[in-house]
Amino acid sequence: MVVYLAIVMLAVLAGCAREAPRLQVVARLFPTEAKKHFGDRAECDVDDDIRPALGCARLIGSRPDESGSESASRYRVPRDAAGKPLVVRRLVRPSVEAKWENLEPLLRRSADGTIDVPFPGGAGQREVFVYLVGDGPSEWRSKPVAIPPGAVLEGAVALDTLVPADSRAPIAFEVRVATADGERSLYRTERKADDPGGWYDYRIDLAELAGREASFVLDATTLEGAQGSFEIAAPLWSRPLLVAPTRAKAAERPSFLVISIDTLRADHVGVYGAQRPTTPNLDRLAARGVVFEDASTTYPSTTASHMSLMTGLHPSSHGVYFPGRRLDVRVPTVAQLLAQSGYRTAAVTENGMIGSVAGFQRGFDSYAEVKEGRTFEVPGYVAEVVDRGIALLDRHRDEEFFLFLHTYQVHAPHDPPAAFARFGGGEGSPAERYAGEVLYMDSEIGRLLDAVDASGLDEKTVVLLTADHGEGFGEHGVLGHGHALFEELMRIPLVVWDAGAPARRRVDVPVSLVDVPPTILELAGIEVPPTSQGRSLVALLRGTADEVPERPVFAERRLEDGSVATAVRKGDRKWILGEPLRPDRVFDVASDPKESKNLATPELLAEGRALLDAHVQRAQNLQAELGASVERPRDVDPRTQNALRALGYVESPDGAWAPPPAPAPTGGAGS
C-alpha cells in the first residue's frame, strides 16, 4: 500500500511538473541606455553571434586627407573620439581587377583629431574603418523592476573581439542587485584575452527577490597585472533578460521553430512528388503536419525573399532586394513582435545574404551567423546549424521561444558528402548532384526533428519548414536562380507541424511566403499589423475553413535598370509581366505546369495588368503609411565590404550596394 501511494504521489508530482507554466521574457533591461550610448543598432558581434548589447564599438566614418603620403594616409576622427582607443581596420588592393586584402588591425589614439594610417608600398586602392571602442561606462545600473515569483536573470558577457587578442585587457564582470536593503553580488566571472572566444552565458535564480523591487548593476573592472603597452578595456554585456512564469497553463502559447532551406525547390521533396527518394525526414514531418501544396516565394533569390519571410511584405514594399540595403527601423519584423510579446528569440543562419547588414538580426536576442570567416560563400554548414539549433532548443525548452534556422546546404556548389551522392555523384548531372545535397540536408533535419520529439517539445512547438526559392536546371534555358520568375524557381515547400492541426492534411490553395508572419502571429495570439501584405493561414492549417476568398499571389524580380518584373498568380492562371526583351505572358499552371504555352490575349493581359496596378498601388500606400525608406548601411564592416566586392557588388553613389548584372536566360520554352 505504501509503495502504491508513493507511485501515485510521484505520478502526481510528475504531472504537476509537466503542467508548470513555461517562462517568458517579462523585461529586457537597459533599452534606453543602449540607445543613448550606441544608437539604434546597439548590437555587438562576437565571433559571428550578434546580440543586443552594452559596450559595443562604434564605427566612425572619415575620408582620407589628401595630404597623406603614398605609404600613409591621414584620417580625421570626431571630436568625441579624441584621446580614446581606436581600432583601425585596413583593406587594400593593387588594382581594380584584384581582390581586396585585409591587413592587420591597428590601435591608435588621436590627440589632435587626426590619425596617421600606414600602408605597404604600392598598396593601390585603400579602405579604412575606424572604430571607437570601450566608450561606454564601466558600470550600468538598470531602472527598478518588480521581480515576479520564479524569475531568473539571463545574460552573457564577452571581450570585444574587434580588439586584437594581445591588446584586450583582462576584465572582471560582476552582476549586483540593489534593493531597499542595500546592494550585493549575484554573479562574478573573469575573462582574459587567451580565453576561448564567444559569449559566456549566465543564468541567475532570483527566488529570494520574489515580490520585491530591485535594480541590477553590471560592473566591469580591469584586472591588475596587465602586461601590454596599449591594452584596451573592451567589456561587452548582452542586454539582460528578466524571465518568469507569468501565464496560466490554459493560456500558454506555442513556441516556434522555423526552418528555411535555401534553394529547395518543391518538386525535389518527396511529399511534393520528387522522382528520387531524397526527403524521408521531411516527408515524416509532412505526415504529422499540413502540406501547403501550392506555395510560392516572393522573389527568386535569398535576401529579398527572406525579408518577406520576416516582415510579411513584398520586396517592392520592404525594399531590401540585396544585402547592401537595410530594412527601415519603422518596419516591424515577426521576431520583433514576438520579442515584444515575451518570446525568447534566437536564430542560426549561414552567410551574409541574410546578415545583420540588411537588418535581419532585428528582434533576435541572439543572431548567430555560421560562416567561418567566409561571409558570402555558400558551401553549406547544415550539421553545425542543426547542432546549434538543438543546443538552443535544450537551453530554452522551458521558455516560449521563436527559433529561426537557415542553411545553404542545397545551394550551389552541389557537392554532397560521398555517403549521400547516390544519384550520380561527382559525374552526375547538376540535378542529380543537387538531389544528393537534398538527401544530406534531410538527414540533418531528421536529427533536429528527433531532438524536438526527445525533448517533449512536439506538443507545444509549431514547426514550420519552407524555402526562399527554387533552382533552375535548364528549364526555360535557366540555370541557377535570381533571373527568372518560372515555377522551378518560384514554387517552394511549406510544411507546418502544429499539434492543433489535423495530421496528413493537404491544402491546395495558392499561398505565399508573406503569409508566414501573420500565421505565426495569430497562433501566438498577437495582433497582425495592418500593414501586412500576407494573410494568416491558421484557418486553413487547423481545418476550420476549406475555402477562403480568392486573392492574387505576387512575386517580383528587380531588373538592372531599377524596374520590377512581376509574376501574378490567381487560381491556376499566371502572368509574367514587365520582363525585358520578352512579351508579357500568361500560363495555365494546372494544365501546363512547365509553362510552355503562352495563352496571352488582350483581354487576359488587361486582367493581369489590372491586378499588377493594384499591387503597385498597395506598395506605394504602404510606404507612405509606414513612412519607410530603405536605409543606407553606414557601418558595413571590412569583412562584409570585402565579400560584397568579391561577389561583384558595387557601391552606388548613394552608398547602397548593387548586385552584378544577372545573366539573361537563354531561349527555351515559354520565351
Rounded Cα gap, residues 100 and 642, in angstroms: 6
* Residue 370 main-chain phi, psi, to 5 deg: -85, 105
Rounded Cα gap, residues 238 and 54, in angstroms: 6
Residue 623 pLDDT grade (very low, low, confident, very high; cuts 50, 70, 90) = confident
Domains defined for the chain, CATH in brackets: 22-56+136-249 (2.60.120), 58-132 (2.60.40.10), 253-658 (3.40.720.10)
Contact 214, 240 (CB under 8 A): no
Contact 283, 451 (CB under 8 A): no
pLDDT of residue 480: 82
pLDDT of residue 33: 54
Q: Mean pLDDT, to the nearest integer, of 290-318?
A: 95
Rounded Cα gap, residues 124 and 95, in angstroms: 6
Q: What DSSP state is assigned to residue 374?
A: -
pLDDT of residue 645: 52
Q: Which residue has the higher pLDDT, 532 or 98?
A: 532
Rounded Cα gap, residues 277 and 265, in angstroms: 15
pLDDT of residue 475: 87
Contact 215, 142 (CB under 8 A): yes
pTM of the entire structure?
0.89
Gyration radius (Cα) of the chain, Å: 27
Q: Mean pLDDT, to the nearest integer, of 499-521?
A: 93
Whether residue 651 is predicted with pLDDT greater than 50 in this model: the reply is no
Task: Using alpha carbons, list the distances in angstroms from residue 401 to 148, 190, 317, 342.
Answer: 19, 30, 28, 9
Q: From the CB of residue 664, how many other CB atoms can be counted at a distance below 10 Å?
A: 14
Contact 577, 584 (CB under 8 A): yes
H or E element that contains 126: strand 125-132
Closest to 242 measured CA to CA, from 219, 217, 216: 216
C-alpha cell at 616: 503597385
Q: What DSSP state is assigned to residue 360?
A: T
The pLDDT tens digits for 541-553 are 998 876 778 899 9
